[in-house]
Structure 1
Amino acid sequence: MSFGVVIIGLGQIGMTSDIGLDPEQYIWSHARAFFAHPAFSLLAGVDPSPTSRAAFEEAYRRPSYATAAEALSAHRPDIVVIAVPTVNHLQALQETLAASRPMAVLCEKPLSYRFDEAVAMTDTCRQANVRLFVNYVRRADPAVREIKQRLNSGQIAQPLKGVVWYSKGLFNNGSHFFDLMQYWLGEMRTYEIVNSGRLLGNDPEPDFMAVFGGGQIQFLSAREEDYSHYTIELVSPSGRLRYDQGGSKVVWQSAIASPESPAYKVLDSAEDEIRNDLNRAQWNIADQMANALCGNKSDICSGDEALSTIQHLTSIKDAL
């Protein structure tokens, strides 16, 4: 059985991020992921741009439409992907559910810049009996899931202290790493603003300390115009984790007895590099979504989990 998919929004994440790249190595867009994954059947794309629609049809030999209403009149998808700009997420969801009843909606992150809209999205899906998932891609990455297993087993002991560097806005990109910390360490309990930072458009970039169930994390904002900087360092009683270059390099060092002074412990110079698969990030999301739809264990972010992230980030924003 395959699940039929309609993609609303054929921009970077919807389609263009991996056009021209080797499909055997790079699966960064929804279009390529749902076209290639055997659990899904790509039915159609939606975008108001004739140029984008033409590119979609040429790349995937599937029909495209200018509006969701047209696409959902012609097709009955099991899955609808919402990959339009964040400010249009709620409207796209409302249009989708006015015209169809898919099994599930996969929405781009963040759900919304506004908590009330995010609540409306989760409530609307619940009332329509439609499952809502959010595209926080790192949850589906093998390295991130391996770290979660090590945390659960105690191999990476808690409590932890750590630093998260993010750039390009608290909601836009910082939410990726806030969601990741909640996935690894549990719900945020308290926070403290360290520096109010600046506004990048309407998206704040504060520095703040957050306390999660499994530890205390300092979030620091970098300047995206200088360079993208997405890095995590977690210090555990049992060692140190480095999540560098946005997750492209993930390294664990265990705490061991010092070879020179066995009474002391040091970090092992032998690094355990944990395999990631970020070059196929959207394939991994499709894989986890298939697991969820088939009733199997899945690490994909649910609508309620994404709503929790928006609620906490809104509290932080309102405190600035």
Structure 2
Amino acid sequence: MKNKYKAVIIGAGRIAAGFDTPKSKAVLTHAHAYTLHSSVDLAGICDTDHEKTRAKAKKWSIRAFDNLAEMCIHVKPDIISVCTPDETHFEVLKTILKYSPKLVICEKPVTINIDHTKKIIGLYKRERIPLLVNYSRRFDTTVQNFKAKIESGEYGKVLGATGIYTKGILHNGSHMIDLVQYLFGEINAKINALYSQSDYLPTDKTVSAFLQFKNCPQFFLMGSDERSYSIFELDILFAKKRIRFLESGFYVSEQNLFSDPLYSGYTVLDKPIIRTTNLSTALSCLVENAVEHLETGAPLLCDGADAYKTQVVCSKILKKL
């Protein structure tokens, strides 16, 4: 029989407890993922905005705390989720170490400073506290199966890919970089920054760039403007088909090859077949990964080292501006 783990959430914003409700079909928050897992007891939430904390605590039928220290001393949590603004992660993650949780789940990026991220990873390694980072598409079983098919050669070689994102190279662009590294292997030396704009924070520019990865000879990263609309899409051209992840990755489009009926000798793409992915339950998979790691030592699907590699690429892109 599995143990019962006490979990708490630091931060009462959208990804913490705001995007969905206990009755929602999609699992879009840490609160929802915890409450659905039979081996987890969600025991508390805190935020510097006490009114927001109380509202989210009522929504999820959990206890509200005024601050991190009060919550951790009272609950003695096994699992802690860090869902605070990016710029607060460094101090929050350091403070958590005082309370010796069994595992910490952190929203991306680990910190906004590459040296701070490296320090945090070192501290958590020293204290033997696993750090699981929510680069959410790694926890989508559709993406996991897709990666296996790429590695098996089912689609043929990668000809090239384009990723479109908004809202900062670290805040959202790192999702794209992490996804591409996950699918195609680590980055090669080639990086060219092409364009930048500030559509999120002045300290986190949205950058367009050209990159090469181990198994992708040409990747074009296009930064769009969050002030107009949000977009996150990945378009991959293989030798045998075209795959696109659409609408933030909630849908996947597949196009097979066929002989052009009008122009003899040409091979073209067929009409797209569009299916839903499992991104809407990725947070449940993240919590399951955390529990399985604690129970059996199963590998974390995205640990601090993975997140650090992604942030290194983001930093290299920024340095090319």
TM-score of the superposed pair, with normalisation by structure 1: 0.92
Report if the CA contact (8 A) 2:7-2:44 is conserved: yes
Shift of 1:194: 4.4
Shift of 1:258: 4.8
Q: Counterpart amino acid of 2:63?
A: P
Q: How many residues align structurally?
A: 316
Classify the secondary structure of the residue corresponding to 2:255.
strand
1:313 is matched with which residue? 314
Q: How does 1:196-275 map to 2 (within 5 A)?
A: 196-200=195-199, 201-215=202-216, 216-258=218-260, 264-269=266-271, 271-275=272-276
Structure 2: distance between partners of 1:172 and 1:162: 21
Structure 2: distance between partners of 1:4 and 1:156: 43
RMSD (Å) for aligned C-alpha atoms: 2.0
Report if the CA contact (8 A) 2:132-2:300 is conserved: no
Structure 2: distance between partners of 1:275 and 1:292: 28
Structure 2: distance between partners of 1:89 and 1:241: 35
**Can you list the C-alpha shifts for 1:239-274, whole angstroms capped at 9, x where unaligned?**
1011111112201222345567785433233x4444
Structure 2's unaligned 5+ residue stretches are none
TM-score of the superposed pair, with normalisation by structure 2: 0.91
Classify the secondary structure of the residue corresponding to 1:294.
helix
Change (3 A) 1:210 1:292: farther
Q: How does 1:91-240 map to 2 (within 5 A)?
A: 91-98=91-98, 100-200=99-199, 201-215=202-216, 216-240=218-242
Structure 2: distance between partners of 1:291 and 1:157: 34
Structure 1: distance between partners of 2:67 and 2:285: 28
Structure 1: distance between partners of 2:297 and 2:142: 20
Q: Counterpart amino acid of 1:266?
A: V
Structure 1: distance between partners of 2:151 and 2:289: 19
Shift of 1:87: 0.9
Change (3 A) 1:248 1:57: closer
Is 2:49 aligned against 1:39?
A: no
**Can you list the C-alpha shifts for 1:125-157, whole angstroms capped at 9, x where unaligned?**
001100011111111112212211211221122
Report if the CA contact (8 A) 1:230-1:246 is conserved: yes
**Can you list the C-alpha shifts for 1:4-44, whole angstroms capped at 9, x where unaligned?**
2111111111111214xx62412211111111222311111
Structure 1's unaligned 5+ residue stretches are none
1:67 is matched with which residue? 67
**Can you list the C-alpha shifts for 1:165-190, whole angstroms capped at 9, x where unaligned?**
11111111111111000110111112
Report if the CA contact (8 A) 1:289-1:300 is conserved: no
Classify the secondary structure of the residue corresponding to 1:172.
coil
Report if the CA contact (8 A) 1:191-1:208 is conserved: no
Report if the CA contact (8 A) 1:112-1:310 is conserved: no
Structure 2: distance between partners of 1:17 and 1:119: 30
Shift of 1:297: 5.4
Structure 1: distance between partners of 2:193 and 2:53: 46
Structure 2: distance between partners of 1:255 and 1:291: 40
Structure 1: distance between partners of 2:296 and 2:153: 27
Identity score, percent: 25
